[in-house]
């Protein structure tokens, strides 16, 4: 299933959501400009669980050791990876920013991304492949949207055999099914945990980001009765 749009209009211009999309795109363009050096750049700035574990076990912990928790969520492995992530952010992020305000939404997004990386670390602290991508943070956005707008309608492209159909699906079903798939894939991957060390999809990062979004929403959401014209932080 591929979402095309939702039916919830934004009440405020989603400046932070748009900036996050632009920053991710700029980072991806910069990656491409590195050519053969791109792989080394990803290893240096992606989140590598085994490296993170070694740094935590050292005598001293530097702030630089925590930097990949943030930098990894702005890197992507390819065009499909960055497009699919940012498309989801474009559809769902503006409404979540509406209910949080700009500053709160930015902090919420970053915390969900960090929680996603830590969930990936928990799943396999010995993984050597760098985890990159915004999907963990975006999973948190989906978690918040799931609670805020469960009855929203998501216009979705649904493949059935060789045909594609446009179907309006309730947000609670679309996102709930998405989360079920992430959890199922993560559980299956955990059975053969060695696969995590060789790369692939960080399913538990998606699960961790989503759960973080659900839990953090209580602290970040604003009242829906907020008057128009007030400044949102």
pLDDT of residue 231: 47
Measured distance CA(192)–CA(203) in Å, rounded: 13
pLDDT of residue 230: 47
pLDDT of residue 164: 85
Helices assigned H by DSSP within 101-148: 102-123, 135-148
Whole-number Cα distances in Å, 176 to 171, 179, 199: 8, 5, 26
Domains and CATH numbers, the chain: 2-220 (1.20.1540.10)
- Please, which contacts does 225-228 make with residues 24 or more away whose CB atoms are closer than 8 Å? 228/11
Query: How high is the mean pLDDT in each 10-residue block of the chain (233 residues)?
Result: 90 95 97 92 93 78 82 94 95 96 96 96 89 95 96 91 88 95 86 56 93 95 60 48
**How much is the pTM?**
0.90
């Amino acid at each position: 299933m591929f979402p095309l749009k939702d039916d919830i209009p934004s009440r405020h211009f989603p400046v932070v959501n748009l900036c996050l999309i632009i920053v991710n795109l700029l980072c991806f363009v910069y990656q491409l400009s590195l050519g053969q050096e791109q792989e080394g750049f990803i290893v240096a700035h992606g989140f590598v669980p085994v490296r993170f574990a070694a740094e935590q076990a050292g005598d001293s912990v530097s702030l630089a050791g925590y930097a990949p928790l943030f930098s990894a969520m702005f890197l992507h492995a390819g065009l499909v990876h960055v497009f699919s992530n940012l498309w989801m952010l474009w559809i769902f992020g503006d409404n979540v920013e509406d209910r949080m305000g700009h500053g709160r939404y930015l902090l919420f997004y970053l915390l969900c991304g960090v929680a996603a990386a830590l969930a990936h670390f928990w799943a396999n602290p010995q993984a050597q492949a760098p985890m990159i991508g915004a999907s963990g943070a975006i999973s948190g956005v989906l978690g918040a949207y799931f609670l805020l707008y469960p009855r929203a309608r998501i216009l979705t492209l649904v493949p059935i055999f060789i045909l594609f159909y446009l179907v309006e699906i309730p947000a609670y079903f679309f996102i709930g099914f998405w989360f079920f798939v992430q959890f199922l894939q993560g559980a299956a991957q955990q059975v053969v945990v060695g696969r995590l060390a060789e790369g692939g999809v960080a399913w538990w990062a998606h699960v961790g980001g989503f759960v973080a979004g659900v839990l953090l929403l209580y602290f970040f959401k604003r009242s829906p009765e907020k008057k128009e014209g007030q400044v949102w932080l």
